[in-house]
Amino acid sequence: MNEIELLKSLRDEIPRQSDLRAEEHRLLTEIREGSSASRRRPARPAARLRWGLALGGVGALAVAAVVVPQLVAVPQPGGTAQPGNRQPAVGPPDAVVVLENAALVAARTRTADIRPDQWFYIKESQHMGGDLPAFEHWSRMDGRGSAIRKEGGELKIGGGEPNARTDPARTQRELESLPTDPDALLEHFRNLKEERTPLSICRLDCPAGTEGDVRAFGAIGWYMKFGPVIPAGKTAAMYRALAKIPNVTIEENTADGDGRKGIGVVLTVGESKGYYILDPGDYHYLGTKVVDADGTFAMSVLDAGVVDGPGQTP
């Protein structure tokens, strides 16, 4: 079934004269419980991309599939709205639906075996009140080597830092130990003793009672940039865990620090907002940003993958 047919089938499920909020609740319940309805409309299997989190196939469809139909009166000539002439209005995407869609695709994504002598490559940019040069970093998977190159600079190769926080071998071990049940995974991240986050949302000023949610949101983002080494089942669990965090919403057409538009997965904490931006075509992680009273701070992943040696790119 192609996207057009799928959208038609979704529209056909909307009752002509019924409680549309109840219908939305039914669809969300089917997704959460893995009902037969979700099996009738499986996400399209994705070919292996450079990102383990590159969830191919249904990015654009995800946004289309999550609109919530609401009946609104249509103004008639003369400025009078006629209740009998109503058209569906598009509501904001629902985080549960978008992230479940992403999880279903992630679970079907094939991940390649990675050798210990291969290297994890990542190219990042930082926007911390002033743009810094982009840089490329290579880490050997067994922790025995690393290399870095600033934008426009020369490659510098050095020894590795086994068991460092950014050591991909350590990351692999941690990923293997993570639960695949989203509730258990969320609880694990909420109780981490060592905070892991690409960017702090509220630093030391998080409102009371939100600390666990902020810690979990940050940890998921921390692992996202290691996409190529994340097993498919763990990726799916992370998306489902994100959907269970209170105050997580979806914002469409969110720009990352480099101006690329994507799907914003947003956690609002007090006056601060933390974003993870996902590619709207295949869900791969574009980057993160924090918007607070001090301004906007962002980090973008411009490229990532597994290569055979330093200096190589995917």
Tens digits of per-residue pLDDT, 169-191?
788 889 889 999 999 999 999 99
Tens digits of per-residue pLDDT, 97-153?
999 998 988 888 887 789 999 999 999 999 987 778 899 999 999 888 999 999 889
- Spell out the alpha helix ranges (H) of the chain: 3-12, 20-33, 36-40, 59-65, 95-107, 168-177, 182-190, 211-224, 232-243
Quick check: 250 pLDDT over 70? yes
Q: Is 3 helix (H, G, I), strand (E, B) or coil?
A: helix
Tens digits of per-residue pLDDT, 56-113?
334 433 433 443 333 334 444 444 445 445 555 566 789 999 999 989 888 888 877 8
Q: Which residues pair with 146 in a beta bridge?
A: 139, 158
Q: Mean pLDDT across the stretch 232-254?
A: 94
pTM: 0.71
For the sheet with 248-255, list strands across it.
156-158, 146-150, 135-140, 119-127, 295-307, 285-292, 272-278, 261-269, 248-255
Q: Please give the full DSSP string across 166-199, using - where no structure is assigned.
A: T-HHHHHHHHHHS-SSHHHHHHHHHT-SS---SS
**What HEC string does 103-124 produce?**
HHHHHCCCCCCCCCCCEEEEEE
The letter for the amino acid at 263 is I
Quick check: 240 pLDDT over 90? yes
Per-residue pLDDT at 39: 39
User: What token pair was written down for 50?
Assistant: 């450079």
Percent over 90 (pLDDT), the chain? 43
Quick check: 243 pLDDT over 90? yes
- Spell out the alpha helix ranges (H) of 78-156: 95-107
Per-residue pLDDT at 276: 96
Model confidence at 45, in pLDDT bands (50, 70, 90)? very low
